[in-house]
Structure 1
Amino acid sequence: MLVVDVEATCWEGAPPAGQVNEIIEIGVCVLDTATLERGERRAILVRPERSEVSAFCTELTTLTAADVADGLSFVDACAVLREEFGSQDLVWASYGDYDRKQFRRQCEATGAKYPFGSRHINVKTLFALAHNLKAEVGMDRAVELAGLSLEGTHHRGVDDAWNIAALLADLLRRARG
């Protein structure tokens, strides 16, 4: 299974005129569903084409404009997911539905081929159901409720994908008894 977390350009409030949210990092973590072990993890940096990395975005993600200036184009980043991870043939998971919707929006806007198949798991909803919560919670709170440790930098895609994979492995482990 492929666990994905994206970071996108963002601002405090509405985007400035002429700018849109664009993916600037695709965090990937492979989860072996047989052993429930987390495997390869990678940060794919993506160069924004229709927006700029704001100071607010840098404060949130630690990513600067310089960090992503040499990133891949979004089209090429999607090709990496397909060619190196076989993303179109795997079940993929993200925490919430933002990542799935952002990929769809950005693929439509840029003409990039959608890199995933139709099988997506929303770990945020699954976690709330499995833990009988009245409402969904943020990823960092879910890690805490599961008794796990948040590893890395929150709001860095590569680290968040790693932590989401740990949450999903824990949910699958509990389901298997």
Structure 2
Amino acid sequence: MTSAPPERHPHLLNVVDVEATCWDGQPPPGAVSEIIEVGLTVVDLAAGERIARHGILVRPERSSVSPFCTELTGLTQDQVAGGVSFAEACRILRDEHAARTRAWASWGDYDRKQFERQCAAPGARYPFGRTHINAKAVFTGSHGLRRRPGMAQALDVAGLPLEGRHHRGEDDAWNIAALVLHVAGRGDWPEDPREEPSDR
């Protein structure tokens, strides 16, 4: 008896935004940039709604949160020290948020590449499936812009408010999801996201 294939909901999209350790200049010797927060908003493209939002704090192992990083994100070393491991964050994405079977989007390709970099080290399994959508590229094409805007600039272009704090993963994912729905409302969100451009 074979198991049934995983249930797929093509109208559901995971919008992901990560924050990572950073410095005002070069990282300290031996330190590398690591994810410290994963923000995720679930979008129902059929209903045109944001239906869930989540935030996962992640404990860095080879770096710590600098004062510059705290000023940017609002996150402190004490906060992220109480987070889950990166491997556990990947498991949560797979097991609790259908990351392997659901398409996902981020603002640009940074988030995808950061996951790929960290998953190249032993111990963490890449949590996502093959379908990643570069929402920045789709938005740029929808509005016929010559340059790809940052998220806050794109909200201005779309006439949407910035909700919450910029550079917090949970809030940024929520705002990016609003931009996804804005583009979908213009009829420009890809039906087959595998054909969309990326920053690669």
TM-score by length of 2: 0.87
What residue in structure 1 maps to residue 180 of structure 2?
168
Identity of aligned residues (%): 59
Deviation at 1:86, TM superposition (A): 0.6
- Among candidates 53, 56, 63, match of residue 51 of structure 1: 63
Q: Deviations over 1:88-141 (max 9, x none)?
A: 000000001000000000011243110000100101111111111111010000
Q: Deviations over 1:10-49 (max 9, x none)?
A: 0011111100000000000000011120011011000000
For 2:165, give the aligned amino acid.
Answer: T
CA–CA separation in structure 2 for the residues paired with 1:25 and 1:159:
11
- Superposed, 1:21-170 pairs within 5 Å as 21-170=33-182
Quote the RMSD (CA, aligned, Å): 0.8
CA–CA separation in structure 2 for the residues paired with 1:9 and 1:89:
29
CA–CA separation in structure 2 for the residues paired with 1:156 and 1:60:
9
Moved more, 110-119 or 73-82: 110-119
Larger radius of gyration: 2
For 1:164, give the aligned amino acid.
Answer: I
Tell whether 2:14 aligns with 1:2. Answer: yes
Q: Deviations over 1:64-101 (max 9, x none)?
A: 00110110000000000001001000000000100000
CA–CA separation in structure 2 for the residues paired with 1:175 and 1:111:
41
What residue in structure 1 maps to residue 196 of structure 2?
none
Q: 1:35 to 1:171 in 2, by over 3 A?
A: same
Q: Unpaired segments of 5 or more residues in structure 2? A: 1-12, 189-200
Deviant stretches of 4+, over 4 Å: none
Aligned residues: 176
- Among candidates 9, 24, 46, match of residue 12 of structure 1: 24
CA–CA separation in structure 2 for the residues paired with 1:150 and 1:172:
19
Q: What SS does the aligned partner of 1:89 have?
A: coil
Q: Unpaired segments of 5 or more residues in structure 1? A: none
Q: What SS does the aligned partner of 2:55 have?
A: strand
